[in-house]
Chain A
Amino acid sequence: MTSVKSLLTKPWIWSFLGALLVWLATIAFTGGYGAGGMVTAALSLAVFTVIVGVGQMFVITLGPGNVDLSLPANIGLASAVAMKVMDGNDSMIVVGLLAALACGAAVGAANYLLIWALRIPPIIATLSASFIIQSIDISYGRGLQIKPPPGFADFANWQILGIPVLAILTVLFTIGAAIALQRMIYGRSVLAIGQNIRAAWLAGVNVGRIRFLTYTLSGALGGIDGALLAGYFRGANVDIGNEYLLASIAVVVIGGTSVAGGKANVPGVWGAALFLVLLLTMLNTFGVSAGVRLLLTGLIIVGVITAAGGQKALR
């Protein structure tokens, strides 16, 4: 009983409960039909939100005003870069992935460079960067019809006993991220900066370096996400990352990470991503129109933040 109680105090439990509830509602509606397939599909799709969500989470944890608006453009560009480098050739898969990673990391580093050199809020820096990246992507990837190498597409869609391999790998990655957050100097420093940037500096945290690393990390995760998306959907396109701007912020907030900074929650990102994907599945199953689906998603985000409310920092 006490363990249940302590479980209920974890902020991430609610997103999982929500996901479970939505799933149960759906299979109740279908009479149990497709229950397993639904989980498989949800896991495969949630992976992409989780990967960028974790990057966005570290950024948001840095404190008020920190957010990465360049993720969609970044994902789009990296997916094109990966596909071009791989060039449909199985032997180039690793090189292509590394290229996407490097491309994303470069975008992240450029974001921080703008924040630092122009002394502008991260929102504006990542926004202006995203305009430019978007153009580079359009220009670079124009008429791009290159399919991913068959090996890579198979890998991205590979399932073992109905569990997507990508999801397993992403779980391992998020465990790593959770350890980095709580047990490594980097994570501790991010949390400290998010709670009080001045106190962090006075406690000896290298604020500039940590912020640089965080934006670079978020960019790199966007890059790898782009490559995987192109593999999963069997082709890159400019708009492939569009939905991940709102989705990445939404999973961070619903997952129990504080928008005021300094309090992050890695499992919650998974819960929230599953919740959002399953919510879509449920509404689709109910035959609800796209409009109602969006409407409900929005109301849920506003509802969650209002319930969590009252935590905006003064700055």
Chain B
Amino acid sequence: MTAASLDTTAKTSAERGALARARLLRGLLPALSLALVLLAIAWLNPRAISYFGFSLMLNLAIPIALATIAQMFVIAGNELDLSIGTFVGFVGCVTATWLKDAPLIGVVILLGSIGVYALLGALIHLRNLPSIVVTLGMSFVWQGLAILVLPKPGGKAPDWLLGLMAFKPPFIPFPIIAALLIGLIVHFGLMRTSYGVILRGSGGNPAALGRAGWSLLKTKIVLFALAGLFGVLSGMALIGITTSADANIGNGYTLLAIAGVILGGGEFVGGRVSPIGAVIGALTLALAASPLLTFMHIPPDWQVAANGAILIIVLAARVLISRKER
């Protein structure tokens, strides 16, 4: 008996070791892909690896990271938001107009739009609707509203926002600090707090959560409201950088945000998401699409392809790792 149980513990510890290694590898994959992209940039143009180079390359990293976090909350609940890009554009237009000219009304509009997101979560849960179609419709709505708010490109960001986004801390470029901060705050909120567990559980095994007495309606509302909140932050950050707005300014963010979540180790179903991974994924995509690449022998034509290729390579690597786990 003793011999047998000794034997099993020995075997299981080896088994656990292999499993832990594979898990570690899976967890490090987003960071590895970021490192790989950085290496490629350093190889192509060593001068890019500098305070100035990073500030330039990661110019748009903050809004992309925030939009990715917004998408991540929706994906954590097994849904998908196809409207986050146009929502970011709408927020941008409001920021460049109302928020500057009549701050109080601007704040009310932005809070109201977060409320709309919460209502969408409720609608999707109560009517059991496919989120893809609902958010697809909403993407038209946000774009329409954006054009109504700002028919022609223009407007101006509030000065305090411009000041904030132009912040130049010593040694480490602002985008990196900000991204780190965003990742850590959301990580704490979603991965460490007791209600964060319930939110993630609602994606992992909704039936079990319901059986334990939690309201799935509430979790869905909270997840969508958080998505709205981070969408608002993303739109404001974007305008803080670009200084003026355009109704189409956020359109590309829908697909970028989905790609960022997946790059960061998130999965479409099962509540498996990682805030820090998502931020790293967003940084990777921001780098791969950064304007600086134009100055290094990469034709601008292929920047989008770089995003697609990174996505496919990372997913392929993930398949290989999970095969090893079996």
Specify which of A118, A134, A302 is in contact with B134 (CB 8 Å cutoff).
A302
Any B CB within 8 A of the CB of A311: yes
Are B258 and A292 touching (Cβ within 8 A)?
Answer: no
- Cβ-closest chain A residue relative to B206: A314
A169 within 8 A of B: no
Residue of B with least CB distance to A307: B127
Question: Quick check: B140 and A297 within 8 Å, CB to CB?
Answer: yes
Are A114 and B312 also in contact (CB < 8 A) when A139-B301, A289-B148, A298-B137 are?
Answer: yes
B249 interface contact, C-beta 8 A: no
Supposing A291-B147, A309-B128 touch, asked if A130 and B319 sit within 8 A by C-beta, the answer is no
| In-complex Cβ contact of A128 among B142, B144, B145, B308 (8 A) | B308
Query: Shortest CB–CB separation between residue A250 and chain B, in angstroms?
Result: 7
| Residue B10, interface by CB 8 Å | no
When C-beta atoms are compared, the residue in chain B nearest to A137 turns out to be B301
Distance (Å) between the CB of A309 and the closest chain B CB? 4
Report A-chain residues with C-beta under 8 Å of the C-beta of B18. none
**Interfacial residues of chain A within 215-271, with CB under 8 A of chain B in the complex:** 246, 249-250, 253, 259-260
Contact A291 B140 (CB under 8 A): no
Instruction: Kindly list chain B residues whose C-beta atoms are within 8 Å of the C-beta of A67.
Output: 132
A121 touching B127 in the complex, CB below 8 Å, given contacts A67-B132, A290-B147, A291-B146 = no
| CB-CB under 8 A for A118 and B319, given A294-B141, A298-B137, A305-B134 | yes
Q: Is the CB of A120 within 8 A of B315?
A: yes
Which B residues are CB-close (under 8 A) to A294? 140-141, 143-144, 147
A4 interface residue per 8 A CB criterion: no
Q: Which one of B258, B305, B306 has the highest number of Cβ atoms from chain A below 10 Å of its Cβ?
A: B305
Contacts A306-B123, A310-B128, A312-B128: A127 and B301 contacting too (C-beta < 8 A)? no
Question: Are A138 and B144 in touch, CB under 8 angstroms?
Answer: no
Given A135-B305, A294-B147, A295-B145: A124 in contact with B315 (beta carbons within 8 A): yes
Bound together, the chains give a CA A124 to CA B281 distance in angstroms of 15
Contact A306 B303 (CB under 8 A): no
- In the bound complex, do residue A119 and residue B319 qualify as a contact, i.e. CB atoms below 8 Å apart? yes
Task: Tell me whether A127 and B128 are in contact in the complex, defined as CB-CB below 8 angstroms, given that A134-B305, A291-B151, A295-B145 are known contacts.
Answer: no
Inter-chain CA distance A15–B303, complex, in Å, is: 41
Given the contacts A139-B301, A289-B148, A302 and B137 also touching, CB distance less than 8 Å:
yes
B104 to chain A, nearest CB (A): 23
Which residues of B have CB within 8 Å of A301? Answer: 133, 136-137, 140
A296 at interface by CB-CB < 8 Å:
yes
Check A131 against B307 for contact (C-beta < 8 Å).
yes
Among B80, B144, B304, contact of A295 (Cβ-Cβ < 8 Å):
B144
A134 touching B140 by the CB < 8 A rule? Answer: no
Those of B40-68 within 8 Å (CB) of chain A: none
In the bound complex, what is the Cα–Cα distance between A39 and B195 (angstroms)? 56
Cross-chain contact B146 with A312 (CB below 8 angstroms)? no
Q: Which residue of B lies closest to A131 (CB)?
A: B308
Q: Tell me the bound Cα distance from A195 to B95 in angstroms.
A: 46
- 26 A/B residue pairs, CB under 8 Å, sorted by A: A69-B255, A117-B316, A123-B132, A123-B258, A124-B258, A124-B268, A124-B311, A124-B315, A127-B311, A128-B259, A128-B308, A131-B309, A134-B304, A139-B299, A139-B302, A289-B151, A290-B147, A291-B151, A292-B148, A294-B147, A295-B144, A298-B137, A298-B138, A301-B137, A302-B137, A311-B128
Instruction: Name 11 extra pairs, CB < 8 A, besides A259-B133, A298-B140.
Output: A123-B132, A123-B258, A128-B259, A129-B308, A130-B255, A130-B308, A131-B308, A134-B305, A290-B151, A291-B149, A306-B123
